[in-house]
Amino acid sequence: MPDDSSQKSSPVTLEEYDAMGRDAKVAVWLEISDISEMQFKAHMATESAREADVPQIGAAAPDFVADVLGPNRQRTGEQVRLSELRGKPAGIIFGSYT
């Protein structure tokens, strides 16, 4: 198992963290993080800009093509397009199989 002694521990409990406001949470995060406040703000700006492209609840899902995996989690060479499933029940599992 890797040595986690280089990781900083949180100065607050989860209960304390949950009760904090956003600014206090950011301060704690920066205290235990290896990035600067400027890097954090740049990251948050990038994430906020991405939010504009996120479909709203109840909106139609964007169309996409996905590889079909076999029982061994290997690609089968088959693909499925979300729009081809319109009107049919479908279960989609997102995850990394690398």
The answer to the question of residue 43 being in a domain is yes
Number of domains in the chain: 1
pLDDT tens-digit readout, 33-46 = 899 999 999 999 99
**23 part of a folded domain:** yes
Instruction: Tell me the C-alpha distance between 8 and 65, whole Å.
Output: 41
Does a structural domain hold residue 24? Answer: yes
Q: What is the pLDDT of residue 2?
A: 52
Q: What is the pTM of this model?
A: 0.49
d(CA 31, CA 69): 42
In SS3 terms, the chain reads as CCCCCCCCCCCCCHHHHHHCCHHHHHHHHHHHCCCCHHHHHHHHHHHHHHHCCCCCCCCCCCCCEEEEECCCCCEEEEEEEHHHHCCCCCCCCCCCCC
Q: What is the pLDDT of residue 82?
A: 93
Domain presence at residue 72: no
Task: Evaluate whether residue 71 is within a structural domain.
Answer: no
Residue 60 lies in a domain: no
Which comes out higher in pLDDT, residue 77 or 52? 77
- What is the domain range of residue 39? 14-51
1 domain residue, yes or no: no
